[in-house]
């Protein structure tokens, strides 16, 4: 049965990932995504159901539109696959309970933010405001230890980024700050601090590499959301191990 549950969540994840692509690409541009069929952005032809199967359609069509041969971004299948894997992983790590719901919402928020920030360097308020009430309710149903951790976590997350914005004058954006506020509710105080530290670490290491290999120019603005998202998911799933490893390292 276990295998079926993992497979089930993987397929749900693939499908949600496909939807998150659409949400992430359309919400920042204020295009409706509800009653609108997906079209090829190049030839405007409406896509048939068999062109909308996550990952599989992309592979079968060799990453091109069937009508006009325009290349389809590899980001679509990557995001779909990633969401599938993260949904299945959430179940493997957590099992079937309310915490799983929290994990699935967190993965969903992270994937959408990854898409919007990579594509538009934007973390829309609409997305954050959509997820906020779910996290607040779930922090009562599946509470953290101690009970005030989500509250202080949200405040600390926003506070640190606010400070960085003031000191660095634009190193990070208001979107990053609000995102950390929402993440603080899910992660709690301890883990939001770890997520912050890790995102800065990833951001500076990868940033330096990108400049060294001349993929980006110095002082070219880059989205910080993707680093936050990766750091958050690592911290959410492995935060206790990270804390444990750090404490062991301190004793040596
Ligand atoms: Zn086309």
The full set of domain ranges for the chain reads 1-96, 122-252
Instruction: Give 26: exposed, middle or buried? Use CB within 10 Å, 0-12, 13-18, 19+.
Output: middle
pTM, entire model: 0.93
Cα(179) to centroid(ligand 1), Å:
35
Distance CA 43, CA 46 (A): 9
Are 232 and 195 in contact by the 8 Å Cβ rule? The answer is yes
Cα(83) to centroid(ligand 1), Å:
25
What local confidence, expressed as pLDDT, does residue 137 receive? 96
What local confidence, expressed as pLDDT, does residue 252 receive? 66
Helical H segments across 121-224, by residue range: 125-141, 149-168, 174-212
Residue 172's pLDDT band, with cuts at 50, 70 and 90, is confident
Cα(43) to centroid(ligand 1), Å:
4
Cα(48) to centroid(ligand 1), Å:
12
Assess whether pLDDT exceeds 80 at residue 165. yes
Tokens 């954006």 correspond to: 173
Cα(45) to centroid(ligand 1), Å:
6
User: In this predicted model, what pLDDT tens digit does every residue of 41-55 receive, in sequence order?
Assistant: 889 889 899 999 999
Assess whether pLDDT exceeds 90 at residue 12. yes
Cα(61) to centroid(ligand 1), Å:
12
Are 203 and 224 in contact by the 8 Å Cβ rule? The answer is yes
Question: What letter would DSSP give residue 47?
Answer: P
What local confidence, expressed as pLDDT, does residue 35 receive? 63
Assess whether pLDDT exceeds 90 at residue 228. yes
Cα(10) to centroid(ligand 1), Å:
29
Residue 8's pLDDT band, with cuts at 50, 70 and 90, is very high
Assess whether pLDDT exceeds 80 at residue 102. yes
Cα(69) to centroid(ligand 1), Å:
6
Assess whether pLDDT exceeds 90 at residue 32. no
């Amino acid at each position: 049965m276990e295998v079926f549950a993992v497979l089930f969540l993987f397929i749900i994840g693939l499908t949600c990932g496909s939807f998150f692509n659409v949400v992430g690409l359309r919400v920042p541009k204020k295009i409706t995504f509800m009653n609108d069929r997906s079209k090829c952005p190049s030839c405007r032809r409406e896509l048939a159901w068999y062109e909308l199967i996550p990952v599989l359609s992309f592979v079968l069509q060799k990453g091109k539109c069937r009508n006009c041969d325009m290349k389809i971004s590899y980001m679509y299948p990557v995001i779909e696959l990633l969401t599938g894997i993260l949904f299945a992983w959430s179940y493997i790590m957590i099992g079937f309970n309310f915490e799983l719901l929290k994990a699935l919402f967190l993965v969903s928020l992270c994937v959408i933010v990854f898409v919007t920030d990579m594509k538009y360097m934007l973390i829309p308020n609409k997305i954050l405001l959509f997820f906020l009430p779910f996290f607040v309710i779930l922090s009562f149903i599946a509470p953290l230890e101690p009970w005030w951790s989500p509250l202080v976590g949200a405040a600390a997350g926003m506070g640190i980024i606010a400070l960085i914005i003031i000191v660095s004058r634009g190193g990070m954006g208001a979107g990053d700050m609000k995102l950390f506020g929402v993440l603080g509710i899910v992660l709690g105080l301890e883990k939001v601090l770890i997520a912050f530290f890790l995102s800065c670490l990833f951001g500076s290491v990868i940033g330096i590499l990108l400049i060294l290999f001349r993929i980006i120019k110095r002082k070219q603005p880059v989205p910080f959301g993707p680093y936050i998202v990766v750091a958050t998911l690592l911290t959410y799933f492995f935060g206790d191990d990270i804390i444990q490893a750090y404490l062991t390292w301190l004793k040596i």
